[in-house]
Chain A
Amino acid sequence: MRETNSGGVKLDRRALILVSVIILISIIGECFAAGIVVSPTRFEFTGAGSHEGKITISNPYRETAIITITPKRILKDKRNLLLMDDGVARWIRVQNGSFTLRPGERREVNFQVNVPVNYNYRDAVGALVVTSTSKAGTLNSRGTSVTLKQATEVIVPVLIGLPGDIRESLFIESFTGPSILLGLMPGSFSYTVKNRGNVYENFTSTLQVNGFLSDAVNSSGGVYPGDAYSDEVTWTPGILDMGIYTATINVAYGRYSSQKPVVAERTLIVIPVWLIVLLVLIVTVWFLRSRKPRIPRIRVKIER
């Protein structure tokens, strides 16, 4: 027979409270901590030559983190931050930049920066982008569902100069098309857009044709920095279109901030097909009439 007394019951209750407090503290402790931890938060090197540095990544959590460290070049403006793979990104070498970090583990990662003798001081901020992800679970679901995996990144600037600006600049290199168009017959207008900026640009183009009547044809495209993009737009005059028309190509762009559209223009003449048919009819009728047999004149002279 089990003996129970008030002292024993009190002890059990105290033990239960203690265990509950311990569990509660451990739960709070887990929710309290942040994600990836990286130090230091920036590097600054002066001048050309070889430089070395070291960053430390820590995982204070209970999940294993998958870490990658990637060198990049920073372009930024007030709102946007771009991470590019060229320029100063190619000066940075990271040793062993991909690994897993177990809970409670820290790791130091070394890197070198080789700055060339001639470099653009106004576009010389690189970065070590430290990315932390964890394994996503599997999902068994019918119907439509969405899985958003999450990753956190710490961007550690590596300064050798100033950060580059985001420069957006497109211009129309050429705009060609027919000078005379017949009604109901399609005409092709070709244009080439050149990207003089330092970022990839998406654009929408509108061919606006104005004259006796107006019409518009839309198109779109994308062009890398330093590249040219050629496009062809087709417009077919309607049955009522006629006369002198203006064809304007309007290219709108501006991925990071609004930009003034670039425009080019040319003039063409539209000859309606019914006019041609009418002219042909007139000519035909005139021709046929001109071929009628002549009735010879008969002169009658009466002599006394």
Chain B
Amino acid sequence: MGVRSLLAVLILSVVLTVTSFSPVFGAASPSATQQLEAEVEPTIAIGAFWANGANNSTIYLLDLLADNQEYSWDGGASGEQVKHSSNVAIDLYVRAAGDLTNGSNTIPLSNLKYADYGASVAKTAFTTSYVRVRENWPAPSQGNELTIPVDLYLLVPFATPPGNYTTTVYHAAVQTGGTAPTSP
């Protein structure tokens, strides 16, 4: 008798617990609707890639001759690219940190040049301040990105001492018209 009672109580508890969690077993409730709003902010997303490598991938230019002849690397999948998947149109700027240096010797920054940017930008030497290379670059369609090639050129002067010369290349994006006030 005792065991049977205990079992009955246990079964009843389980049923009650299940019904409390399962509206299918419970009494019917009135339906409810909820409004959901998701606000998407203007967003800028850009990246620079070398040879389809990682974001901000380092550019290694190896085995260069100090022969005063200009080297060139075409932009594209095997060279330099800039990608943009912002949801607003952007202006794209480029600069470099300064002369290429190995600590004790330098290659002038004016020997490092860029071109193309998908806008037929003429071959231009890097400077240490930002120069615009794309204006009003439109936002891609939803879920996509836009990619542009960047051609690079470098002249290593005669008698440049051997070594690894380094500088940093910066690409910057700002929303088109973003510096203009909306009210006078």
**A binding-site residues for B, Cβ under 8 Å:** 31-42, 44, 46, 56, 60-63, 65, 74, 76, 78-83, 125, 127, 129, 131-134, 136-137, 139, 141-157, 159, 161-163, 256
**B binding-site residues for A, Cβ under 8 Å:** 41-48, 50, 52, 54-66, 83-86, 88, 93, 100, 107, 112, 129-132, 145, 152, 154, 156, 160, 162-175, 178-183
- A23 CB to nearest B CB, Å: 16
Alpha-carbon gap, A80 to B46, bound state (A): 20
- 6 A-B pairs, CB-CB below 8 angstroms? A37-B45, A39-B43, A42-B175, A146-B64, A146-B107, A148-B59
Which 8 pairs between the two chains have the least Cβ-Cβ distance?
A35-B47, A148-B59, A153-B172, A34-B45, A39-B43, A146-B61, A41-B175, A155-B174
Given contacts A81-B174, A136-B58, A157-B175, 13 further A-B contacts (CB under 8 A): A34-B84, A36-B45, A36-B47, A38-B45, A39-B44, A41-B175, A134-B57, A144-B156, A148-B166, A149-B58, A149-B167, A151-B56, A154-B172
Alpha-carbon gap, A256 to B46, bound state (A): 26
| Selected contact of B164 from candidates A37, A81, A147, A256, CB within 8 Å | A147
Chain A's closest residue to B133 (CB) is A79
- A81 CB to nearest B CB, Å: 4
Interface contact A143-B46, CB-CB below 8 Å: no
Instruction: Say what secondary structure dominates the interface of chain A.
Output: strand
Alpha-carbon gap, A60 to B66, bound state (A): 40
Known A-B contacts A34-B145, A163-B179; the reply to A41 vs B130 at CB < 8 A is no
Alpha-carbon gap, A298 to B138, bound state (A): 117
Interface contact B52-A31, CB-CB below 8 Å: yes
Chain A's closest residue to B91 (CB) is A81
Interface contact B63-A145, CB-CB below 8 Å: yes
Interface contact B50-A150, CB-CB below 8 Å: yes
Known A-B contacts A41-B88, A79-B131; the reply to A147 vs B59 at CB < 8 A is yes
